[in-house]
Chains A and B, each alone.
Chain A
Amino acid sequence: MNDINDIRANIHHLRVLYVEDEHELHDSVRLFLGKIFDRIDDAYDGKEGLVLFLSDSYDIVITDILMPLMKGSEMVQQMQQHAPNVFYAVLTGTNSEEPIDVTSNLILSKPMDMEAMLLLIEAIADHYKGKTC
């Protein structure tokens, strides 16, 4: 495993959209992501996330699935129609409650351990390898 600081150096500039309706969890995850990425935008619902996404450009979308107004899966589907190459990661708390009906780059189960989070970082790094700005 490469040094985390080396990886960070390669991906810290990527723009992240993080969508999660649960505020406490949102804060925690955002704190973690903030250690890696410089620019993170927050959305608290699928609809809000989609509006932000369409009005701006992001490299990475990390989203929850179960949200009140628009589900994460639906949001990702619509985003993929516009920007199929963006890195999409889904954090799901639902093992069996609902089938995950979206093709994404990475699916992580809540609660995520360190291994899962490192996997996310490495997957992003792999996705954008050689695409440094």
Chain B
Amino acid sequence: MKGGYVKRLPLSVLTALAVILIWIALILFVFLFDLPKIKGELFEQVEHRLRTDLNRGQGEIMHDLVNGNRLAAKYKIILIASEPTTDLALVLDEAFHPILSSRTEYQKMLPSNVLDSVERVVIQEAIHSKAIVMRRHGNFLSGAAPIVVGTQTGSIRNNRLGVMLIRTNLNIMEKALESRIKEHLISHTLLIFILFILLIGGGILLINRPLKHLQSQINTFVFDGRGFKFDHNAPKEIVALGSAFGLMVERWNSAIKGLKDEKIKFESTFEQAAVGIAHVALDGSWLRVNQKLCDIVGYEPSELLNIDFQTITHPEDLETDLEFVSQMLYHERSSYTMRKRYICKNGDIVWVQLTVALVWNDDNTPNFFISVVEDVNDKVKTEEELQSQEQILLYQSRMAAMGEMIGMIAHQWRQPLTVIAMEANTIILNAMMKNITIDETLTNAQKIIDMTQHLSKTIDDFRNFFSSSKIIESALVKSVIENAISLVDKSMEHNAITITRVYRSNPELLMLKRELAQVLVNILNNAKEALIVNNQGHREIRITLEENSEEVSIKIENNGGAIADNVIGRIFEPYFTTKHASNGTGLGLYMSQIIVGKHHGGKLFVSNIENGCIFSIVLPKSKGV
């Protein structure tokens, strides 16, 4: 409450100042508005009097002069001039000869010595216009009124036109005005002084007492959340003022408490958040950081606040980050989220998910950034592991497929190689038996050459199949099927397996050709294995290709027996195999499903039919790879 008093002292000074200001304003008012107004009023009064005098003089003096009552006229002139403001009153004839004068010393003087130029003009105008003319010159206001002057030469009376002039001295008016102003100022000052005293006194009485009263009340006040209690003997106004004041304090306190609560809430949110939160200045320096952020990057808060975010951002991520920042500054986006790396104090790299928003000032200038930093290091590591696992699987399946393929190559090659060897053997045998003929030898040689061509073509097929280039290309599904069959047909023939093709349409699709061929070869080989084991009769693989408006489907059906119930649900699992360990890796169908599903957006599924099973590959036309 002491502080309250200290703050109230300038208030009284202010009151005094205000009073002085009011005084000055009043004086200014007097000089600027009141005085000219009074002046104008006074001038009007003077003018009015002059006009009245001229009118009266014109009437009465003319009457006296025409009737030859010169003395009465003179008396009237003197009477007119007796006014304190009237300087001079004259009656002149046409030739400016004074006939009557308020001052006897002017009687014998030439008018040129008595009248100034303006007064002479006024007189002439009055005679000409036969009306009253008034004009101000310097500190004088002079007016002239035409008058008939009766003159008597002997007994003959002549009536001639003359003029009456009255000169008013405005100086006298000014003097009167000055005294009026003095009166004014004195009265105003007095009035203001009294008002001041009254105000101060009244103020002290009216404000200080209740304030002291309130103060004493406040000193005994204990906040119980319900408000103030006042002495109810106090005047009604004070009680009202007091309770209003109390209400104000109460609201003020609750507002402050609310703000404090909010501040505590905000601070605990900031500090105890499970994610890193920071305020970052426009230049990138950390303005405020929470503990979690410090934990993520391994810096002390004080250390972080001395550097900027650029310092701890991985160089490869900085450009992207700054690009986003500039987009926000240019209003192109309101926030951004990115994955980036920070370099920890100990040099480790940590992956985070960063979300940044920009806080704007009221004048639409950028203020600071709010950054939310989430530690996604483990997540990224897991993803990397999964990815590398998938790559290992892909590699393994490729190796397995390659192993199978080498088996197929061996199969494809053994017969032609044997033919070549046998042709050569025949030549040698002929030589040994000394029974060699040119014709027969040429036939043998041609056979050998044919076989090498065949081998060369076979190895090209396999090499194409194995090139790992992942070209997405448009290709006829039929040609891919034929390509896959060409790789396995020898071993199919060997195992008395008939491949029947049913091409109901000839669709073209965007695809990874070799991957799809790998899937087909895989399914065909599985079918072959099943047929060899389970079918000693007519072995058949039936490939059906059809399409509708949305999809292309390839069905590969075999009569090698149904897949056992405990197996059919697991055949797409990695490392699941029914084959002997040396024959299968258990990756073929798993990878096939990844190729069809992930790489082509399609579906690979199996169903049992009577005496066999059917693998279906469904590829969407629109989505593709």
Contacts and interface: CB of A to CB of B under 8 A. Distances in A.
A22 interface: yes
A111 B615 CA distance: 37
Nearest to B582: A96
A93 B415 contact: yes
Interface string B450-483: 0000000000000000000000000000000000
Interface stretch (A27-35, A50-58, A81-89): A27-35
A114 B496 contact: no
A111 B495 contact: no
A91 B407 CA distance: 19
Contact of B422 (A21, A32, A97): A32
B443 to A, nearest CB: 9
A38 B434 CA distance: 18
A10 B98 CA distance: 197
A69 B429 contact: no
Given A32-B425, A114-B428, A25 B415 contact: yes
B603 interface: no
Interface in A50-86: 66-69
B422 A28 contact: yes
Contacts of A97: 407
Q: Determine the interface band of chain A, counting residues with CB < 8 A from chain B.
A: 20 to 34
A13 B84 CA distance: 186
A110 B429 contact: no
Contacts of A110: 414-415, 417-418, 421
Contact of A22 (B407, B415, B430, B435): B415
Given A68-B495, A69-B496, A93-B415, A32 B426 contact: yes
Contacts of B433: 4-5, 8, 35
Given A5-B433, A117-B429, A68 B420 contact: no
Contacts of B493: 68
A112 interface: yes
Nearest to B430: A35
A110 B425 CA distance: 13
Contacts of B414: 93, 110-111
Contacts of B418: 25, 28-29, 91, 93, 110-112
Interface in B400-421: 407, 411, 414-421
A111 B420 contact: yes
Contacts of A67: 494
Q: Determine the interface band of chain B, counting residues with CB < 8 A from chain A.
A: 20 to 34
Contacts of B435: 35
Given A29-B422, A31-B422, A110-B418, A4 B429 contact: yes
Contacts of B496: 68-69
Nearest to B490: A22
A28 B407 CA distance: 24
A97 B406 CA distance: 12
Interface in A9-45: 21-22, 24-25, 28-29, 31-32, 35-36
A31 B426 contact: yes
A121 to B, nearest CB: 9
Contacts of A114: 424-425, 428-429
Interface in A78-133: 91, 93, 97, 110-114, 117
B426 A113 contact: no
Contacts of B581: none
Contact of B426 (A4, A28, A93): A28
B432 interface: yes
Interface in B490-543: 493-496
A106 to B, nearest CB: 16
B423 interface: yes
Contacts of B428: 114
A106 B9 CA distance: 130
B426 A24 contact: no
Q: Which of B417, B420, B426 has the most CB of A within 10 A?
A: B426
Contacts of A21: 494
A112 B425 contact: yes
B447 interface: yes
B354 to A, nearest CB: 58
A5 B422 CA distance: 19
A118 to B, nearest CB: 9
Contacts of A36: 429
Contact of A35 (B407, B424, B426): B426
Contact of B421 (A8, A22, A35, A113): A113
B423 A28 contact: yes
A110 B418 CA distance: 6
Contacts of A28: 418-419, 422-423, 426, 447
B420 A4 contact: no
Contacts of B426: 28, 31-32, 35
Q: Which of B416, B422, B424, B495 has the most CB of A within 10 A?
A: B422
Contacts of B430: 35
B495 A112 contact: no
A35 to B, nearest CB: 5
A112 B415 CA distance: 11
Nearest to B495: A68
B494 A25 contact: no
Contact of B494 (A8, A29, A68): A68
A65 to B, nearest CB: 10
A31 B426 CA distance: 7
Contacts of B420: 111
A35 B417 contact: no
A25 B421 CA distance: 10
A78 B447 CA distance: 35
B429 A35 contact: yes
B419 A113 contact: no
A4 B432 contact: yes
A16 to B, nearest CB: 15
Given A111-B422, A112-B418, A117-B425, 10 more contacts: A5-B434, A24-B416, A24-B419, A25-B418, A28-B418, A29-B422, A32-B422, A91-B418, A110-B414, A113-B425
5 contacts: A25-B415, A29-B418, A35-B426, A69-B496, A93-B418
Query: Which 9 A-B residue pairs are closest in the complex by CB-CB distance?
Result: A68-B496, A111-B421, A28-B422, A111-B418, A93-B414, A110-B418, A111-B417, A28-B419, A32-B426
